[in-house]
Structure 1
């Protein structure tokens, strides 16, 4: 039986690639295809015998790479059926304000972000209801999409109270999402979460790449600082790919 070094020589690899063991090269190739979205969740990975022929190596080397990918949760190995790209399920803590980028990276997927729309306006009645305002004041309205492995992960609809955060008016929000930008600049003192199940309308279905009417999980959050509401955000996730988690302990008897 050939070892990995012999298998590297069989491929004719030279330079830096030859320094990697063959199973690591196979591992990296498959991982890149999954994280880039080329191999989407549910995609059946080529059989071991086919990968062994492609890389001119033993099935044991291929098996070693696939076993490692299964341990990381990127693929699922099914007996007599093959190996499939798994459907990641993100978990959000209900009582925490988490960076969506960290949520995506915790799944082992590449994060992406896109600003879809941005407008400064005089607050509407609905804006004032969301932000707890009594007088018409300027607000910044933002729509963003967060991506995981090249696929839409979450749609964000956000209002920022410019009376509380005037610097937001001049921020472009093209490189950095508004959530982490706010967390770094405005110390929040309290937050309120509202969680709903909704059906995707045309707008949300297009943003998330799902069918109209698909179940979605919506998290609405308001944060305030020193008695003034800073922002209201609505985060919309495809329901089948997201769960919410809350940790708690029993109350202590008095």
Structure 2
């Protein structure tokens, strides 16, 4: 592990564990430089990454501090698909299509940042609303981060719901795209090949370690994203 990643993980761990509560001053850069025996640039890069993640804020001539929680966030929340369906007043159902335990391949590198010696669970499943396909879920789970997943069959509970109850996530990345349904997705969602779909790709980390990568595909005419926001300090 690089010194940059070690500093990032250590500071993030102190924050997420509550050891460093909101308002706590992070050690000055020169103090971290001495503690880890590294360059000022390495420390600065780690702290800059923590600022981007919203965990700390820098105050001019004062130092870096753990941020206070915000009521509103620019980051999409992680929702349980079951709750999405139930919020529509429709009956929910879940079906596991495939669960494969395997080693990481080079093709996985674009989806989840794991070494070739890593092991993961590759899951394909579907969520239904009122008897109709609502969402196709294709998920990779890092067994190094969540070893308990190896014993979970996921035949009765969806992996997203299970993960939310098992491991806290510290960072998430969303990518949202409009795509034309391929043959397999069209068959799974009971739509015509080439029909418009909304795809949400999400990766989550806990303490700097990748936990899961999921691709959620929704029929374009049955799903929408709604974000609530308020004017910020910049108007």
TM-score class, shorter-chain normalisation, is 0.5 to 0.7
Post-superposition shift, 1:134?
3.4
Q: 2:189 maps to which residue?
A: 208
State how 1:1-254 maps to structure 2 within 5 Å.
Answer: 95-253=76-234
- In structure 2, list runs of 5 or more residues that go unmatched: 1-73
Write out per-residue CA displacement over residues 158-217 of structure 1, whole angstroms, 9 at most, x where no aligned residue.
Answer: 000011111101100011000010010100011000000111111001100000000000
- In structure 1, list runs of 5 or more residues that go unmatched: 1-92
Over alpha carbons, which structure has the higher Rg?
Answer: 1
Partner Cα distance (2:79, 2:102) in 1: 28
- Please provide the CA RMSD for this pair: 1.6
Partner Cα distance (1:239, 1:118) in 2: 26
Report runs of 4+ in structure 1 exceeding 4 Å deviation: none
Post-superposition shift, 1:253?
4.0
Q: Give the number of aligned pairs.
A: 162
TM-score (norm 1): 0.62
SS of 1:246's partner is coil
Post-superposition shift, 1:145?
0.5
Q: 1:37 maps to which residue?
A: none
Partner Cα distance (1:246, 1:124) in 2: 36
TM-score (norm 2): 0.66
Partner Cα distance (2:233, 2:106) in 1: 43
Post-superposition shift, 1:136?
2.7
Partner Cα distance (1:107, 1:129) in 2: 34
Partner Cα distance (1:165, 1:128) in 2: 18
